[in-house]
Amino acid sequence: PGKKVLIVYAHQEPKSFNGSLLKIAVEELSKQGCSVTVSDLYAMHFEPRATRNDIVGHLHNSEAFNYGVETWEAYKRGGLSKDLIEEQKKVQEADLLIFQFPLFWFNMPAILKGWMDRVLVQGFAYDLSKAYDGGLLQGKLSLFSFTTGGSKEKYAIRGDIRYLLWPMQHGIMHFCGVKVLEPHICYAPENVSEEKRKEMLTAWTQRLKTLWKEEPIDCSPDWYFK
């Protein structure tokens, strides 16, 4: 109650299963008295490419463009592009970040990866000696909620699905000091019965009801590769 949630959502179709998961999260969290903001990346035509356009005005070094250095410098002088400043404000205010997306190639869709690349710049999300438990976004929680194309068994054949969570959960969120809740995975919603799909949606509603009582995972290699 009173908590702020940012849902970063990456699906093209509101009628999709991801769309239903988003709707449930907005409704359930609002019902709890949380304030919920959604960044609907496809609807916003969110730009995933990291380019010179992200810096307003002069460059720190116009001889050789270095995206990391330029966005860091621009952040410090308030010179990032408007769309990035808006996303950073949403992140800053949020107690919980939920990422809702279909898994594409063992990973986030490019539009969501672009959100990570462009929004979480140095100075805002981390700094030279301020990473991992010292990351600049300490005190926040995150949750990766995604659907897969293949069944749970398909993923199990060649390794645990947790393997692919390492770059996202550890490499990004943990690096910024954000704690990570258990991922929420809906396996192959397109290939199961309508009944099973309904069960999956109910399970998400149920989980959200007690979400604030959950303990973050221990984001160490052990969790991923034990």
Q: Are 208 and 22 in contact (CB under 8 A)?
A: no
Should residue 212 be labelled a site residue for a second copy when binding is judged by CB under 8 A?
Answer: no
Instruction: Give the separation between CA 15 and CA 21, rounded to whole angstroms.
Output: 10
Among 149, 183, 192, 197, binds a second copy (CB under 8 A): 149
Among 7, 94, 116, 217, binds a second copy (CB under 8 A): 116
Q: How big is the site for a second copy, counted in residues (CB under 8 A)?
A: 49
Should residue 134 be labelled a site residue for a second copy when binding is judged by CB under 8 A?
Answer: no
Q: Are 95 and 29 in contact (CB under 8 A)?
A: no
Binding segment (CB under 8 A) for a second copy, from list 21-29, 112-120, 179-187, 203-211: 112-120
Among 24, 56, 85, 110, binds a second copy (CB under 8 A): 110
Taking residues 170 to 199 in sequence order and writing x for each that binds a second copy by CB under 8 A, - otherwise, the string is xxx--x--------------x---------
State the SS3 of the chain.
CCCEEEEEECCCCCCCHHHHHHHHHHHHHHHCCCEEEEEECCCCCCCCCCCHHHECCCCCCCCCCCHHHHHHHHHHCCCECHHHHHHHHHHHHCCEEEEEEECECCECCHHHHHHHHHHCCECCCEECCECHHHCCCCCCEEEEEEECCCCHHHHHHCCCHHHHHHHHHHHHHHCCCCEECCCEEECCHHHCCHHHHHHHHHHHHHHHHCHHHCCCCCCCHHHHHC
Please report the sign of the dihedral spanned by the C-alpha atoms of residue 85, residue 91, residue 93, residue 99.
Answer: positive
CB of 211 to a second copy, least distance (A): 25
Should residue 42 be labelled a site residue for a second copy when binding is judged by CB under 8 A?
Answer: yes
CB of 21 to a second copy, least distance (A): 15
CB of 32 to a second copy, least distance (A): 29
Among 3, 37, 50, 95, binds a second copy (CB under 8 A): 50
Among 1, 33, 63, 195, binds a second copy (CB under 8 A): 63
Closer by beta carbon to a second copy, 3 or else 69: 69
CB of 195 to a second copy, least distance (A): 19
- Residues forming contacts to a second copy in the complex (CB under 8 A) are 12-13, 15-16, 42, 45, 48-52, 63-68, 104-111, 113-114, 116-118, 120, 132, 149, 158-159, 163-164, 166-168, 170-172, 175, 190, 220-221, 224-225
